[in-house]
Amino acid sequence: MTSAEWAEVDRYLVETLVGDGDSETFRANAAAGLPPIDVSPPQGKFLYLIAKSVRARRVLEVGTLGGYSTTWLARAVGKSGQVVTLEYEPRHAQVARANLERAGVAERVEVRVGAALDSLPVLAEENPEPFDLVFIDADKVNNSNYVRWALRLTRPGSVILVDNVVRNGRIADANSRDAAVRASREVIELIRDEPRLDGTVLQTVGSKGWDGLAYAIVLGEDD
């Protein structure tokens, strides 16, 4: 199949299972000049369903962009839940806040602006309740660092997701010099080697091309 056929399947899935009620978010992001690197609508719905499945009430997101995935996660946690999302670019955060307000979920989302590796230690010092789910979709070279911080901020049974790890299949190339590919291999091997984690990677195709999502759970002493 071609990428055009993958995209056509995504269009069908949006029509039948997802809906296009958030299309204004994509238009606002484009108008503000944000890069079109949001998760796709079926992927956004998938994040929502994962969060609902684990009954997540506290979610940490690393990489907000225009708040599309944030919106799905905020819907999943419900009115009594909270999403803390970290965004490096102030302009992206501004657009995200407007999108979250339009979607009616702004009151359950805290957008923190700054480099995530600066924000995460501050968050840890606040000694927050553990997060039930962490979604990592930011600069790829720091994925392993983000997973290590996620381990400090979660509990046994929490889920850690890392987006964009397959890189059009290039992760199979152990000799790649591409920094994002090398970082993807590093985070996958971290999940393999870290005794507190168990996980896998699901390859995906669709309107966003060929990629994949790392899925890991935090283990307890009895696991």
Helix (H) or strand (E) holding 44: helix 41-53
> Is there a domain that residue 200 lies in?
yes
Domain coverage including residue 70: 3-210
> Is there a domain that residue 160 lies in?
yes
> Is there a domain that residue 71 lies in?
yes
- Six-digit token pair at 219? 């283990």
> Is there a domain that residue 222 lies in?
no
**Domain count across the chain:** 1
User: Rounded mean pLDDT of 143-155?
Assistant: 98
pTM here? 0.97
> Is there a domain that residue 188 lies in?
yes
> Is there a domain that residue 216 lies in?
no
Whole-number Å distance between alpha carbons of 108 and 76: 11
CATH number for position 205:
3.40.50.150
> Is there a domain that residue 223 lies in?
no
> Is there a domain that residue 215 lies in?
no
- The pLDDT value recorded for residue 1 is 74
User: Rounded mean pLDDT of 57-75?
Assistant: 98
Radius of gyration, CA atoms only, the chain: 17
Angle at 102 between CA 41 and CA 33, to 5 degrees: 65
- Six-digit token pair at 137? 């979709």
At 14, which amino acid appears?
A: V
Mean pLDDT estimate for the chain = 96
pLDDT digits (tens, 9 = 90+) for 196-213: 999 999 999 999 999 999
